[in-house]
Amino acid sequence: ETFDATGLHLLPGAIDAHVHFREPGYTHKEDWRTGTAAAAMGGVTTVFEMPNTNPPTGTVEALKLKQKAAEKAYVDYGLYGLLAEDNLDQLEGLIKGGVAAFKCFMGNTFGNLPSPSTGAMLEGFEIIAQHGLRISLHAETASIMALRQKKLMAAGRRDPLAHLASRPAVVATEAVARAAILAEWTGARIHILHISSGDELRPLREAKARGVDITGETCPHYLLFDEHAYTDLGSIIRVNPPVREKHHQDALWEGVKDGTIDMIATDHAPHDPEEKLRDDIWRADCGFPGVETQMPLMLTQVHAGLLSLTDYVRMSSTAPAKAFGLYPAKGAIVPGADADIALVDLNRRETIRAKDLHSRGKITPFEGFETVGAPVHTLVRGRFVMKDRKLVEDASGWGLSVTRIQNMPAPEPRHVDETTAAVTGAAGKGAGRS
Ligand code: DOR
Ligand code: ZN
Ligand code: ZN
């Protein structure tokens, strides 16, 4: 199949290390078809999907349900296994069963999964470290938040800013520092999800300097909003951890520029209006969709000169590919090498409209944002999943688990040298040639 890509830039597809697709359990918010359709429309060719579904992905049995649901995927995916207080005996089974990474909720959020004790975390880190899988942390300290929220509720605070007040930056910072110490002790690889404050950057930098295998992500909402959003958007902007004051936003941009923050991920967290739009902030669900809007929003920052295109590609694709082992670090294979591609028009102007999103969650704080730059075609392992800004409907089911792709035998390179073999996708993602 040939097509005209005149005027478009060829980028490796984005790898979103942080999405919630809600199936099984909460399919009124999202399912694997709608979630991965949104990814395809957003130039995202691989997603890592979170375990706070129902049942949570903390047992081998639950993993099988998740794998069944994921068969509809348009794009490739890694499944997160849950690391919790009570499932240490399941971790080996989850790894054998094909999880790509682990997620540990240190703080309370959607799904109400209790945070494990520091002791259970240490035990879990030890087990997982033996297999080299990365552990992604929702780094917020549950006990600090619980007490603060209780105090605020007793004082009658029901406004959106109370949500921010219940989770000051110390909540995240203490958790990042603690997770880094456990990683250092056990040799586990870790990833700090949704960095929302400047304060977290210090323990992150210090851990990197000590040689801890630690990476960190922030999300478009922390880079593009500050505390004024609470007045404008009410519960729509409620997210864990919260969007913070301007000085944090500025510090996060610094962290992006100096490389402390490794990745852009989205924390794609769709909710339905019933549970999201509430005057009582304590009753409103946290989060909003993001996987479809990440690339246009960030390319807009590139257009505005706040980020180079090279840095954007590193943060949206190369860094997550390396961190989650999607290709051998020393190998000739680079992200996008198995033809996971976003062809983007850097000058394309669009306005974000929630009603046009492919996610089932139609409530976004980015409503009305004018963007410059958008993916026009998305290819996953050489197949169009979005073409001319339209979803390729019958590509549902084309998406594969990254651990399965990694275990596929590498095909013989076809009568070509290494370089050409890499770009024509002779080898699967992560499949080294012998
Ligand atoms: O705002 C959030 N929503 N933060 C999380 O950590 C979880 C997510 C969700 O699953 O809704
Ligand atoms: Zn989280
Ligand atoms: Zn999340």
Phi/psi at 411 (nearest 5 deg)? -65, 155
State yes or no: pLDDT of 299 exceeds 90. Answer: yes
Go through 49-70 and write b for each residue having 16 or more CB atoms within 10 A of its CB, e for each that does not: bbbbbeebbbbbebbebbbebb
Residue nearest atom 4 in ligand 1 by C-alpha distance: 240
User: Cβ(138) to ligand 1 under 6 A?
Assistant: yes
pLDDT tens digit string along 209-236? Answer: 999 999 999 999 999 999 999 999 999 9
Mean pLDDT of 316-335: 74
Beta 214-218 vs 263-264: how paired, if at all? parallel
Distance between CA atoms of 424 and 413, rounded to whole angstroms? 10
In terms of C-beta density within 10 A (0-12 exposed, 13-18 middle, 19 or more buried), how is residue 423 classed?
middle
State yes or no: pLDDT of 335 exceeds 70. Answer: no
- Band the pLDDT of 419: cuts 50, 70, 90: very low
Distance between CA atoms of 296 and 310, rounded to whole angstroms? 15
* Structure-model confidence comparison of residues 31 and 326, the more confident one: 31
pLDDT tens digit string along 78-134? Answer: 999 999 999 999 999 999 999 999 999 999 999 999 999 999 999 999 999 999 999
pLDDT tens digit string along 2-12? Answer: 778 999 999 99
Sign of the dihedral through C-alpha 82, 189, 428, 310: positive
Instruction: Provide the pLDDT for residue 425.
Output: 36
Distance 359 CA to ligand 2 centre (A): 19
Phi/psi at 76 (nearest 5 deg)? -70, 160
Instruction: Provide the pLDDT for residue 336.
Output: 53
Instruction: Provide the pLDDT for residue 1.
Output: 67
Structure tokens at 34: 């709608």
Is the pTM higher than 0.90? The answer reads yes
User: Cβ(36) to ligand 1 under 6 A?
Assistant: no
Q: What are the DSSP calls for 308-326, one per residue?
A: -HHHHHIIIIIHHHHHTTS
User: Cβ(20) to ligand 1 under 6 A?
Assistant: yes
Distance 138 CA to ligand 3 centre (A): 7
ipTM, two decimals, is 0.98
Instruction: Provide the pLDDT for residue 50.
Output: 98
In terms of C-beta density within 10 A (0-12 exposed, 13-18 middle, 19 or more buried), how is residue 327 classed?
buried
Distance between CA atoms of 413 and 245, rounded to whole angstroms? 53
Instruction: Provide the pLDDT for residue 422.
Output: 41
State yes or no: pLDDT of 281 exceeds 60. Answer: yes
Instruction: Provide the pLDDT for residue 3.
Output: 78
**Ion ligand 2, residues whose Cβ is below 5 A away:** 138
Closest ligand 1 atom to 20 CA: 10
